[in-house]
Structure formats: structure tokens, C-alpha cells
Amino acid sequence: MGPEHTETGKVVEYLDSVLGYLRSEIQELPYGDKVNLIVLSDHGMGSISPDRYVNISNHIKEGWTESIVGGNPVYLIDPTENFEDSITTTLSGVEGVKAWKQEEIPEHLHYGTSSRFPGIVVIADSGWSIGTLDETSGYTGGAHGYDHAFSDMHTIFYAEGPAFKKEITVAAFSNVEVYGIIAHVLGLDPAATDGDLSNISDIFATE
């Protein structure tokens, strides 16, 4: 086990102890049995390496683009007129990279609807990195922002308290449901969102 993994292990152990302390302190409160506790994170992480880096500029011919902007793992390209197909076909043929024109972006990404969208989005596969320079020394450790269809982008959701069923595991659900869950637990009427409480109603205790 390398030093990087050792440090990660120490952080996990520390956070585990903090969470354990928080739970024990809640249980000691006179109203502790009425407290609902939710533990979650906003995204997963994918392990990256200089060995899995693609300089997208090396695969695009001079004159094909007006501009390339972004940062790993997402770049946006403003294509020169009539070179959209050349760019997307070429980049999608490179291992670790996907590229789509605005009208071809997969629906589950919920991306590319802005009027400011330049024309093409380029996304690295999870575990890969993309950029516009040959320098790779910074591409180590972990990264996020990849297609959420990759399982290592999935996150955690743990909950306990009187609002939730005990000792159950449910199928993965989208983070857009979290707002609705919290609103339900607090007895609030939520605003309209992309979430749908019926997708995760099985987590709640019978009232």
C-alpha cells in the first residue's frame, strides 16, 4: 500500500470516528429518538493516472476549431464551420474520450441546452483525463465530473431516524431526490424540481 492510500485510509478512519461520535451524542439527547440523520456526499471519485491521459489537441487538425475551453474531464469546442463531424468522429475514436455535437448529447447528461453552448462537448471516460497540453504530472489521485453512468461516480446515502425504515438497502437513485427527501422529513411542501418522491418512497417508515 502506497503513501497516498495510507493517507486516504487515515482520513476515512477519522471521519468514521467523527460520525460515530455524532451518532452517540445524538442518542444521549432527551429528544434523540426524534432526530433524523442523513449522511451523503455530492459525487464519487475516479482514480486517474498520467498513463490514462489524452491531449485532445493532438487529435484535432489545425483549422478545425475556433476555440477549446474547459478542464478535466470536460472540454467545450467551438468548431470551425463544417468541421463538427470531423472533430466528433476523430475524438470519439480515441480511447478514453467521447465527443458529441449539441444535438447528439445523451439525454441522461442533461447538458448542452444553453444558447451559449459552443457546439461540441468532449468528456473523458471515468479513470481517464483530458487536456490540451502534453504535461501530465498533475493527473494523479482522483477526479470527478465524469458521466454519472459510471459506477465510480455514484455516491453514498445513509439515513437513520424515525422517518426511515431500518436496516434496508434500496436501489441507486439520483441526487436530485435528496431535496424531496429532506422536505418530506421536515413536513414541508417542496418546490418543483427534477426529483420525484415516488422514486424513493420505499425508504420511509410507515406513518
- Given the C-alpha cell 467545450, which residue does it identify? 76
| C-alpha to C-alpha distance for 118 and 121, rounded to whole angstroms | 8
Residues 122 and 193 in one domain: no
**144-170, pLDDT tens digit by residue?**
999 999 999 999 999 999 999 999 999
Domain holding 80, by residue range, is 48-143
Name the domain boundary from 97, 120, 143.
143
**33-87, pLDDT tens digit by residue?**
999 999 999 899 999 999 999 999 999 999 999 999 999 999 999 999 999 999 9
Average pLDDT in the chain: 93
Q: 88-100 burial, b for 16+ CB within 10 Å, e for fewer?
A: bebbeebeebbbb
Structural domain contains residue 17: no
Residues 120 and 82 in one domain: yes
Structural domain contains residue 6: no
| Amino acid letter, 45 | M
pLDDT of residue 138: 87
* Overall domain count for the chain: 2
* pLDDT mean over 128-132: 97
pLDDT of residue 6: 64
Residues 91 and 123 in one domain: yes
84: CATH? 3.30.1360.180
- DSSP states along the chain: --HHHHHHHHHHHHHHHHHHHHHHHHHHSTTGGG--EEEE-S---EEE-GGGEEEGGGGS-TTSEEEEEEETTEEEEEEPTT-HHHHHHHHHTSTTEEEEEGGGS-GGG----STT--SEEEEEPTT-EEESSS--TT--EEE--S-TTSGGG---EEEESTTB-SS-------GGGHHHHHHHHHT--PPP-S--GGGSGGGBPP-
pTM, two decimal places: 0.82
**How much of the chain exceeds pLDDT 90, in percent?**
89
pLDDT band at 1 (very low <50, low <70, confident <90, very high): very low
